Amino acid sequence: PGIHIREMINKINPKRIFPIHTEKPELFKYENAETNIIKGQRYFI
């Protein structure tokens, strides 16, 4: 992800990241956030 997106994610410090509308979701790996999203599973936000 671009530098601005990384800065925003680091500032917000989310518990879970949903990498949608991206061609490379594997680039959204962060220590403090779950990024292993299962297609078809429901998530409550």
Cα angle for residues 45, 5, 25 (degrees, 5° grid): 70
What does the angle CA 26 – CA 28 – CA 29 come to, to the nearest 5 degrees? Answer: 90
**pLDDT at residue number 12:** 92
Maximum pairwise Cα distance, the chain: 30
pLDDT in tens, 3-44: 888 888 889 999 988 888 888 888 877 878 888 888 899 988
The two tokens of residue 22 are 């991206």
CA atoms of 43 and 34, how far apart (whole Å): 12
**pLDDT value of position 24:** 85
Supply the pLDDT for residue 35: 83
pLDDT in the model for residue 2: 72
| Token code pair at residue 40 | 């078809």
Q: What is the pLDDT of residue 1?
A: 59
